[in-house]
Amino acid sequence: MSENEIVLKVEEIHKSFGDREVLRGVSFDVRRGETKVIIGPSGTGKSTLLRCINQLTPPDRGRVWLDGEEVTNSGHRINYFRQKIGMVFQNFFLFDHLTALKNVELALIKVRGMNKAEAREKALYELRQVGMEEWADHYPAELSGGQAQRVSIARALAMDPDVILFDEPTSALDPELTREVLEVMRKLAREGMTMIVVTHEMGFACSVANEILFMENGVIAERGPPDQLLYDPRFSRMKDFVGRLDSRTEG
């Protein structure tokens, strides 16, 4: 596996709900170790795009490849691809009746067929990666939102994914908890994890993203490295949007 090979290829994705065309031809590649940040107004199709990538929502048109293998139209193999394309959601989706450890172990046992001892060791390792090992025996209700989100990141990591999709992972958290989750994501990026992150955390986007994709009305309206999108006067739409975000949080 070389550093610069394309891990994920997204080509001409279209998706409508009824007569509303939500995605109108979205294409991009993600190379190994890259972090792409997706920004854009609410309702512009960001979550739908992530769901089309791992086929939780099948696109109407367009194709997705992971490591050169087609994910779209992959039949039963979609379960394999869903392990390799991790997903972290805004609201964690942990099982309330299972401890942090069991939440991470579950798919290792059920999906990857590990025995209990192997699964436990791997789950504890991943919890350590996100700074949650000492909370292994706690239930989600006993965790802060930031801690719960870190457990859900550990759960995604446990599948040894090729890429992790994050859908507004901190937008349900207050600023302090946001910081601890972003810190974990920064560490993953530094360690070479390939990630697509939908977020409006501009500090994170500017310091971690290799490229920002600014989506508007179902297409990528602007794209480029953060400094280009934020400072090059030829790009104005994302700057306008980000400006409105700032005034919203201040007001």
Ligand X SMILES: Nc1ncnc2c1ncn2[C@@H]1O[C@H](COP(=O)(O)OP(=O)(O)O)[C@@H](O)[C@H]1O
Rounded Cα distance, 36 and 230, in Å: 15
Q: How far is CA 63 from the centre of its chain?
A: 19
C-alpha dihedral over 95, 90, 159, 58, to 10 degrees?
A: 100
CA–CA dist 104, 120 (Å, integer): 9
The tokens describing 128, both together, are: 């350590």
Find which of Mg ion, ligand X, none residue 102 binds, CB within 5 to 8 Å per kind: none
When the beta carbons of 45 and 140 are compared against Mg ion, the nearer one is: 45
Please identify which residue in 35, 47, 99, 199 interacts with Mg ion, judged by CB under 5 A.
47
What is the C-alpha to C-alpha distance for residues 53 and 66, in angstroms, rounded to an integer?
10
The interface partner of residue 147, options being Mg ion, ligand X, none and the CB cut-off 5 to 8 Å by kind, is none
Residues of this chain that bind ligand X (CB under 6 A): 17, 22, 40, 42-48
Helix, strand, or coil here: 59?
Answer: coil
Strands 163-167 and 85-88 turn out to be parallel
Question: What's the min distance (Å) between Cβ of 57 and ligand X?
Answer: 7
Q: Rank residues 49 and 127 by Cβ distance to ligand X and give the closer one.
A: 49
Residue nearest to Mg ion (CB): 47
- Least distance in angstroms from the C-beta of 71 to ligand X: 18
| Residue 170 lies near Mg ion (rule: CB under 5 A) | no
In this complex, which beta carbon is closest to ligand X, that of residue 40 or of residue 226? 40
Give the one entry of ligand X, Mg ion, none that residue 120 binds, where binding means its C-beta sits below a cut-off of 5 to 8 angstroms depending on kind: none
Q: Which does 42 bind (CB under 5 to 8 A by kind): Mg ion, ligand X, none?
A: ligand X
231: exposed, middle or buried (Cβ count in 10 Å: 0-12, 13-18, 19+): exposed
By beta-carbon proximity to Mg ion, the closer residue of 27 and 171 is 171
For residue 73, how many C-alpha atoms fall within 13 Å in the half-sphere facing its CB?
6
User: Do residues 127 and 135 make contact, with C-beta atoms less than 8 angstroms apart?
Assistant: yes
Which CB sits closer to Mg ion, 47 or 199? 47
Q: Which does 178 bind (CB under 5 to 8 A by kind): ligand X, Mg ion, none?
A: none
Using the minimum distance from each CB to ligand X, give the nearer residue, 142 or 240: 240
Given the rule CB under 5 A, which residues bind Mg ion? 46-47
